[in-house]
Structure 1
């Protein structure tokens, strides 16, 4: 994603736009965007570390949608945890966290989440 040049003392030197790209990469990582997705975004910038304002707007919009989706999912999970206080084992037939919609009930009775040995 980024490239450097080495000086006579073999130290890496980065252009300003590369340092900006590093800042964008770190921000994206902090919000949970995978490096592969970040790399794809910079790949669409035709090998440039510099993103135009239009490219940044499109990219940040996509990341915002992903972040909003994650926030929604985590908020729903957090709110459902309150119902687990009475159970504690997450194995109830109707547990929305462990068995949403009782999908495991369609497979019959007994332990369904144990791995085959």
Structure 2
């Protein structure tokens, strides 16, 4: 009977860990191809990029906390918050912000903003 309970606990733990939130570093950037940044000048491009980098950092910190909480509750109870409260909206927002940062960086490079502002 004890062996059976150990197997049940191990199975529940693995199932719980499978339903964890995605670590922020594993979330891929969502492609931004609509040209919404094409009309911005260099100072505004850099300001927008820096603003989105701050948002990304805040979202990633929250996602890391969710991931840690899922690991702990999954190991202890076999259930995770992500099994009940889907983290997909936050993960999609992180992917979107990452994509916006990449698009802004492309515009900054295309307009040669770094040398114009530094020089």
- Output the TM-score relative to the length of structure 1: 0.37
Bigger Rg, structure 1 or 2: 1
Q: Which has the higher helix share?
A: 2
Which has the bigger relative contact order, CA under 8 A and spacing at least 6?
A: 2
- Output the TM-score relative to the length of structure 2: 0.36
